Amino acid sequence: MASLIHGYEYDIFISYRQKDNKYDGWVTEFVDNLKKELEATFKEDVSVYFDINPHDGLLETHDVDESLKEKLKCLVFIPIISRTYCDPKAFAWEHEFRAFVEQASNDQFGLKVKLPNGNVASRVLPVYIHDLDNEDIKLCESVLGGVLRGIEFIYKEPGVNKPLTNDDDEKKNLNNTKYRIQVNKVANSIKEIISGIRQPEHKPGEVSEDVLKAAQTPGKRNKSKLIAGSVFALILVILGILFLPKLFRSKEETEKSIAVLPFKLLSNEPDKQYLADGMMDAILLHLSQVGDLRVRSRTSTEQYRNTDKAIPEIGRELGVEYLLEGSFQKSGDNVKLIVQLIRTGTDDHIWSNEYDRKWNDIFSVQSEVAKTVVKELKIIIKPEEEDLIEETPTDNLQAYDYYLLG
Please spell the DSSP secondary structure of 220-263, one letter per residue.
-HHHHHHHHHHHHHHHHHHHHHHHHHHHH--HHHH--EEEEPPP
Confidence of residue 184 (pLDDT cuts 50, 70, 90): very high
Predicted local confidence at residue 242, as pLDDT: 57
Confidence of residue 224 (pLDDT cuts 50, 70, 90): low
State CA 197 to chain mean position distance. Answer: 19
Residue 145 CB neighbours (<10 A): 11
List Cα–Cα distances, 291 to 73, 78, 182, 370, in angstroms.
29, 19, 11, 13
Confidence of residue 346 (pLDDT cuts 50, 70, 90): confident
Domains 10-197 and 254-405 agree in fold:
yes
Answer for the pair 174, 148: CB distance below 8 angstroms, yes or no.
Answer: no
Burial level of 83, CB count in 10 A (0-12/13-18/19+)?
A: middle
Residue 336 CB neighbours (<10 A): 15
- Where is average pLDDT lowest: 81-95, 112-126, 239-253, 391-405? 239-253
Q: Residues 254-276: what's their mean pLDDT? A: 85
Q: Which CATH class is domain 254-405?
A: alpha beta
Q: Would you say residue 221 has pLDDT above 70?
A: no
Q: Would you say residue 179 has pLDDT above 50?
A: yes
What gap in Å lies between CA 113 and CA 120, rounded to an integer?
Answer: 6
Q: Can you name the CATH fold of 10-197?
A: Rossmann fold (3.40.50)
Confidence of residue 297 (pLDDT cuts 50, 70, 90): confident
Q: What is the mean pLDDT of the chain?
A: 82
Please report which helix (H) or strand (E) contains residue 141, including its range: helix 134-144
Confidence of residue 392 (pLDDT cuts 50, 70, 90): confident
Q: Would you say residue 175 has pLDDT above 80?
A: no
Predicted local confidence at residue 300, as pLDDT: 86
List Cα–Cα distances, 259 to 87, 115, 280, 301, 326, in angstroms.
25, 26, 11, 7, 12
- Torsion-angle region of 52 (φ positive above 0: left; ψ -120 to 50: alpha; else: beta): alpha
What gap in Å lies between CA 301 and CA 388, rounded to an integer?
Answer: 23
Predicted local confidence at residue 239, as pLDDT: 63
Confidence of residue 74 (pLDDT cuts 50, 70, 90): very high
Confidence of residue 193 (pLDDT cuts 50, 70, 90): very high
**Using N-to-C axis directions, what is the helix angle for 26-39 and 179-197, rounded to 10°?**
60
Contacts of residue 149, defined as CB under 8 A and 6 or more positions apart, other chains included, come to: 122, 126, 294
Residue 206 CB neighbours (<10 A): 10
- Domain boundaries along the sequence of the chain: 10-197, 254-405
Contacts of residue 187, defined as CB under 8 A and 6 or more positions apart, other chains included, come to: 34, 37, 38, 40, 41
Q: Would you say residue 206 has pLDDT above 80?
A: no
What gap in Å lies between CA 286 and CA 152, rounded to an integer?
Answer: 15
Predicted local confidence at residue 120, as pLDDT: 83
- Where is average pLDDT lowest: 5-19, 31-45, 109-123? 109-123
Confidence of residue 134 (pLDDT cuts 50, 70, 90): confident
Question: Parallel, antiparallel, or unpaired: how do β-strands 334-343 and 348-358 relate?
Answer: antiparallel
Q: Residues 148-169: what's their mean pLDDT? A: 89
Looking at the DSSP assignment, which residues form a beta bridge with residue 328?
265, 337
Q: Would you say residue 358 has pLDDT above 80?
A: yes
Burial level of 197, CB count in 10 A (0-12/13-18/19+)?
A: buried
Confidence of residue 22 (pLDDT cuts 50, 70, 90): confident
Please report which helix (H) or strand (E) contains residue 331, including its range: strand 322-331
